[in-house]
Structure 1
Amino acid sequence: MGNDNVLEGDVVIVGGGVAGLELATTLGRRSRRGRGVGKVLLVDADSAHVWKPMLHTIAAGTRDLAQHQTPYLAQARDAGFTYVPGGLAGLDRERQEITVAPLEGPSGQVLLPARRVRYRALVLAIGSQANDFGVPGAQAHGMRIDSRRDADTFARTLRERMLQCLADGSDLPIAIIGGGATGVELAAELVKLRDIAASYGSEALRSRISLTLVESGTRLLAAFPEDVGHATRGKLESLGIQVMTGQRAVAIERDGIALKDGGWVRATLKVWAAGVKAPAVLNGLDDLETNAASQLIVGRSLQTTRDARIFAVGDCSSLSLNGHKPLPPTAQVAHQQAAHLAKHLPAFLARAHAIPPFAYHDFGALVSLAEYDAFGSLGRTGLLKGLTLRGRLARYSHEMLYRGHQARLHGPVKGTLLWCIDALNAKVRAPARMD
């Protein structure tokens, strides 16, 4: 590649998820006001951002993708950073450059060639994906909702299968592998979709669509207090979902899932929502240190262990504090890490001081079972630490996480307007996509 293909930025952020986009937005606005780090570039293979904890609602079709996505080009214009389309393909630490893969169109045509991007500081924030642990057939027959595109693909496939059910009278068994927050929330959202479809006059779908949730552990929501896991299971079963715990999937086949104990779960649609790993591109990325889940090992400053100019935040990083197990791959952790770097990167690049240690504040976790129920644990920070929430308060708290993210991206005024628009749309638009 010639020099014409080299772009330059002071801070180059790879990945436009919660951490990456919030960091690019904050630094871009500060640079525009002359108080920042210089030129900020955001690199991402997709064209728009969706808050990852919302992907299960996009997959079920109970939220409209177009209404809840943030195009990177529009956000770059509003916030003062530069968007570079393409995925991470390589890293040259000595030259302080990354390689951005060619951008291809739907039919495989090359829209943009490979490019090199030079940085003064590099922040890797490329997120995570479900980990199928090499289970046979998981790639060929299992679907995922790791990204905006995955969720939209699943939603389209689901609607097609539902139409087939109505047309030929067939059944539609759906199985979800993984009883963490993603699997549990998706299961409840699919019940909501089934109820909405029945209210449109498709009452037969209530009996034709069946849902099974398969979890290898002894209970659901292992990261939550035990009482939350038990209460969640009870609610899901009351909604007609078959919950199977202590059952490990050993093969995914065209018509179902084979279990370790010899059992079989019949399923036309299979969703893999278990495990977490970082994208494989991080393995061996110019000798940066990774763990078994391909996550980059970082220290308290969020710098990678082998290069002080390269940072990793969010799900693609692994940080252990005070000898404890690594921080969980959650939007809460990603947001706090992005805020930490946004505060300290300008001085780091100006050589004023090093990045101080990151301190994580555990505000707990929330899980929403569509409109049927919600649960939350307030974690280890605050006056009410350890308290368990349920019902409307937990559901409102879950909603406020998303509204806070919108406010950070768009500002409090526009964020509030978007909330009002969503409320109006809920009154005047169909409650689910059935097109």
Structure 2
Amino acid sequence: MQSQKTQIVIVGGGAAGLELATRLGARYGRAHHDIILVDENRTHIWKPLLHEVAAGSLDANLDEVGYRGHCHKWGYRYFKGTLAGIDRAAQRIDLAPILDDRGNEVVGAQQLRYDYLVLAYGSVTNDFGTPGVRENCMFLDRRADADRFRDRLLDQCLRVSRAMLVDEASDARVRVSIVGGGATGVELAAELFNAADALGYYGLEVFDRGRLKVTLVEAGPRILPALPERLAESARDELQNLGVRVRTATPIVESTSAGMITGDGELIEADLQVWAAGVKAKPITGGLDGLELSRSGQVVVSPTLQSVTDPKIFALGDCAFCMLPGRDRPIPPRAQAAHQMAATAFDNLRRLMDGKPLRDFDYRDRGSLVSLSRFSTVGTLMGNLVGGRMAVEGRLARMIYLSLYRMHLIAIHGWLKGTALIAVGHVNRVVRPRLKLH
């Protein structure tokens, strides 16, 4: 009688989940193991690129990865579905029914057994319960969110352009308010001006960046708190030179259809409102069957990345709360952390199945980089090569920023195809339109 295959289920096809599935599939294939990747989307796009998709600077159709084609090549299986709950006693996960865009059921609720479970379902924007945010603000959690923002942005640009044609003295503006002075908010604010400069090439001859009014709102004392103050000030100066109105120490207490209301009662009028002020672990409707969670809903893991409640369950990336010995803060929700966690989880799953002792996760902080579109890039590098912490700006910083995405491409496609895709990306920047307008 043939023995049952060892089944490893990975929930979430983001940076950590897809890289892990690729490694496991390449190592074990389908001979004695069944590697299953579960994700509610059909395609993967690197989340740090979503601000470019939102501004129209990046065509996601060229950069996204289809799970079905990818799994066929790399030896794992893909299930489209959303995690609804876990039954740890039965070693089973429950998947919610799949519905079409009209609400009709396509596939009913499903169950998948596991020998080992990896949770890598990521994070969502945290609105901190601020009134009106869910109703009036847009988020950049998924590609669909970025596409919706781009469509509304282009509609508003067209509306303003037409108003200027009718009345040359029109004071019509595209007013965008962004809450959150972290990397996402800052990068989106700069990318919008790159998009505005390009719109003249595509039919909006009377539109220019002067018609774009962007306000970046941060509750803290300064933007980009992860960077040294000098670099944060440099980024602020660059944004202000572009035309961004940067408001720090300005908490938002409510969002309305007309705009955002500050703690002082001021209304910041906006046609488009974006909330990028923080993240939390994606909530699971049916719960996680008693797994210990942090205050923000992350799965608490040991240094081996196993749940402190259940050693057969791992958690990676933004949904994991990992406090390593000797550190006073948990591992930050960054793409570089997800990449490193995937490598450690792969090694520890192999060791667990081989009966060998597991290794602790060793997070190597490579620094923080923030891209201000084609205008500038700022950040810090950390590590033995630079003897600690080094500030970088300009072309060098931009090159290193792009290398993070290139590392991800190589991790999920291999060296040959990954390198080819990097080369194709350079060609596309020359031959493809500067903006995606459809």
What TM-score do you get using the length of structure 2 for normalisation? 0.94
Identity of aligned residues (%): 40
How do residues 42-81 of structure 1 correspond to structure 2 at under 5 angstroms?
42-81=37-76
What secondary structure is seen at the aligned counterpart in 2 of 1:63? coil
Task: Name 1:95's counterpart in structure 2.
Answer: 90
Match of 1:276 among 272, 275, 279: 279
Q: Deviations over 1:38-97 (max 9, x none)?
A: 110000001110011111101111000100100111110111100010010010000000
Counterpart residue type for residue 37 of structure 2: L
Matched, 1:148 2:143: yes
Counterpart residue type for residue 131 of structure 1: N
Q: 1:78 to 1:386 in 2, by over 3 A?
A: same
Task: Name 1:30's counterpart in structure 2.
Answer: 27
Match of 1:349 among 336, 350, 353: 353
Moved more, 113-122 or 103-112: 103-112
Q: Deviations over 1:229-248 (max 9, x none)?
A: 11100000000000000001
Match of 1:368 among 349, 366, 371: 371
Counterpart residue type for residue 186 of structure 1: L
TM-superposed deviation, 1:283:
8.3
Q: Deviations over 1:252-289 (max 9, x none)?
A: 11010000122221101000001110111178421111
Counterpart residue type for residue 10 of structure 2: I
Residues of 1 paired with 2:266 and 2:139: CA distance? 23
Match of 1:180 among 179, 182, 191: 182
Q: Deviations over 1:401-422 (max 9, x none)?
A: 1111001111111111111211
Matched, 1:303 2:310: no
Residues of 1 paired with 2:382 and 2:122: CA distance? 23
* Matched length: 426
Task: Name 2:294's counterpart in structure 1.
Answer: 291
- Is the CA contact 2:304–2:348 (under 8 Å) kept in the aligned structure 1? no
Counterpart residue type for residue 385 of structure 1: G
Moved more, 108-117 or 245-254: 108-117
TM-superposed deviation, 1:152:
1.5
Match of 1:20 among 2, 17, 31: 17
Residues of 2 paired with 1:130 and 1:323: CA distance? 25
Task: Name 1:190's counterpart in structure 2.
Answer: 192
Q: Deviations over 1:185-227 (max 9, x none)?
A: 0111001001111344534342322100000010111111111
Q: 1:105 to 1:9 in 2, by over 3 A?
A: farther
Residues of 2 paired with 1:132 and 1:344: CA distance? 35
Matched, 1:135 2:138: no
Task: Name 2:157's counterpart in structure 1.
Answer: 162
- Is the CA contact 1:220–1:229 (under 8 Å) kept in the aligned structure 2? yes
What secondary structure is seen at the aligned counterpart in 2 of 1:186? helix
Task: Name 1:11's counterpart in structure 2.
Answer: 8
Residues of 2 paired with 1:347 and 1:282: CA distance? 32
TM-superposed deviation, 1:354:
3.6
TM-superposed deviation, 1:306:
0.7
Q: 1:27 to 1:398 in 2, by over 3 A?
A: same
Match of 1:427 among 427, 430, 437: 430
Residues of 2 paired with 1:106 and 1:278: CA distance? 25
Give me the CA root mean square deviation: 1.7
Moved over 4 A (4+): none
Counterpart residue type for residue 70 of structure 1: V
What secondary structure is seen at the aligned counterpart in 1 of 2:250? coil
Task: Name 1:244's counterpart in structure 2.
Answer: 247
TM-superposed deviation, 1:8:
8.2
Q: Deviations over 1:2-53 (max 9, x none)?
A: xxxxx9861100000000000000100111296xx71100000011100111
Residues of 1 paired with 2:218 and 2:205: CA distance? 30
Residues of 2 paired with 1:9 and 1:428: CA distance? 47
List gaps (5 residues or longer) in structure 1: 1-6
Task: Name 1:406's counterpart in structure 2.
Answer: 409
Counterpart residue type for residue 72 of structure 1: Y
- Is the CA contact 1:40–1:81 (under 8 Å) kept in the aligned structure 2? yes
Task: Name 1:211's counterpart in structure 2.
Answer: 214
Q: Deviations over 1:317-375 (max 9, x none)?
A: 1111224111110001000010011122122023x124221111111111110000001
What TM-score do you get using the length of structure 1 for normalisation? 0.95
Residues of 2 paired with 1:410 and 1:400: CA distance? 15
- Is the CA contact 1:23–1:339 (under 8 Å) kept in the aligned structure 2? yes
Counterpart residue type for residue 183 of structure 2: A
Task: Name 2:169's counterpart in structure 1.
Answer: none
- Is the CA contact 2:180–2:219 (under 8 Å) kept in the aligned structure 1? yes
TM-superposed deviation, 1:384:
3.8
